[in-house]
Chain A
């Protein structure tokens, strides 16, 4: 069976190229991390805009979220790969040959994921009991104090599992930086090692990529489940 031969080749291929694979994994981790952090920050701002009484902020946030939720991530990445680097270089006064792909990818993921995070956060804020607001106002807090000190801490505690699950989805989605010719875990295994070395190596490496993503995501989702049980107790 060919399949078993391909799988049997994986260990030696991995040990020969582990530097390349680790640097790919590192890029994947960097993009995931920045996108989760900035996505949650910007997502919180968007959620607060959606919930505010200011009409303009409200409409802006609604439009933003609907826009990013109705187009594919791949299209956002292409915007940031094909059209916006010129703009970024212009703003930061960089020379035309500067490579801004990694930064572009991070911005693209953060802006895109913020739309999804904001929906999770908005639902989390809405789920906090109304009595909490009344109690905070009764104590003489202003609206922003109530939000900052009473509502958001409770909302975030209940949202952590959902935010983490979204983080796992984001981790999987980072493989799409392939279209920006960046070398992440997928790019390192499939294009850098698989296609360059040719032959049956490409079969071994795509199987390796699938196995590594599976192990990472499966372990992470197990941890999130474990964590969720800890919270609800």
Chain B
């Protein structure tokens, strides 16, 4: 076997630069999908996680069901569910716009972001719930004693402390969302994984391409860990042990 390790620096047959540019396109798609899905997941996950700590029976039950539903179905199945059923759920002009108005790349991106976002939101909800519930109960009492409403107690006391406390598990959810975003390649999104096929069709040297993509994922992962370590340091409160 002979390997061509300079493959990524050769120019593509389409005249759009070198194969490294294609790899870079894949990185951009993977990261932007992960970021979009993260925003959805963080907002929904926080809401559901907070509901899980409320005394309202209905909201609590609903949140528990939501978490069970999204945690017990494989991401691949959820991805295909949204891919197949989402266009059918839409109606009227929205449906025609989604099916024929958007380019396939964009509609695949939207579908993947929704699926990945909802899947991850259930995991974030669990982290947020744990973060709030492991705070000393005195913080809640202190907030109430100061005359804060329930809503204010969450906004100004419980959530700021809880989020600081769960930065490490949220970091690992961030690395997970990047890894999980690769499942979007199964519904036709050309992310880092999608580029494997594309480059392989043009060059037929799979081992080198897989090495390149593996290194790309390791670098992204390392970047996330570095950024989050910085965030954790910056948000740490004085006179608090273990950052929260």
Name A's B-contacting residues (CB within 8 A): 2-3, 67, 69-75, 78-79, 82-83, 172-173, 175-176, 178-179, 186, 190, 202-203, 206-207, 209-210, 213-214, 217-218, 221
Contact = CB atoms under 8 A, between A and B. Distances in A.
B218 interface: yes
Contact of B72 (A175, A179, A221): A221
Given A179-B186, A207-B81, A73 B74 contact: no
29 contacts: A67-B218, A70-B175, A71-B179, A71-B217, A71-B221, A72-B178, A72-B180, A72-B182, A72-B183, A72-B217, A74-B185, A75-B217, A79-B210, A82-B206, A82-B210, A83-B206, A83-B207, A172-B73, A176-B183, A186-B77, A206-B80, A209-B77, A209-B80, A213-B73, A213-B74, A213-B77, A214-B73, A217-B72, A221-B72
Contacts of B88: 2, 203
Interface residues of B, number: 35
B179 A73 contact: yes
Given A179-B186, A206-B80, A186 B74 contact: yes
A203 B74 CA distance: 17
A175 B81 CA distance: 14
Interface string B72-85: 11111110110011
A179 B183 CA distance: 10
B214 A71 contact: yes
Given A73-B179, A79-B210, A83-B210, 15 more contacts: A69-B175, A70-B218, A72-B179, A72-B193, A74-B182, A78-B196, A175-B76, A175-B77, A176-B183, A178-B76, A207-B81, A210-B78, A213-B77, A214-B72, A217-B73
Contacts of A214: 69, 72-73
Contacts of B175: 69-70
> Which 5 A-B pairs give the minimum distances between C-beta atoms?
A70-B221, A217-B72, A172-B74, A72-B179, A72-B182
Question: Interface majority SS on B: helix, strand, loop or mixed?
Answer: helix
Contacts of B210: 75, 78-79, 82-83
B213 interface: yes
A190 B80 contact: yes
Q: Identify which of B69, B77, B183 gathers the most chain A CB atoms within 10 Å of its CB.
A: B77
A74 B176 CA distance: 12
Contacts of B221: 70-71
B73 A210 contact: yes
B183 to A, nearest CB: 6
Nearest to B68: A218
A74 B68 contact: no
A188 B206 CA distance: 28
A78 B185 CA distance: 12
Contacts of B206: 82-83
B222 interface: yes
B112 to A, nearest CB: 13
A54 B76 CA distance: 41
A13 to B, nearest CB: 15
A203 to B, nearest CB: 6
Nearest to B180: A72
Nearest to A168: B72
A70 B80 contact: no
A202 B84 contact: yes
A83 B213 CA distance: 13
A2 B206 CA distance: 43
Contact of A206 (B75, B85, B186, B213): B85
Q: Identify which of B76, B84, B180 gathers the most chain A CB atoms within 10 Å of its CB.
A: B76
Given A67-B218, A70-B218, A70-B221, A186 B76 contact: yes
A179 B194 CA distance: 12
Nearest to B215: A71
Contacts of B183: 72, 74, 176
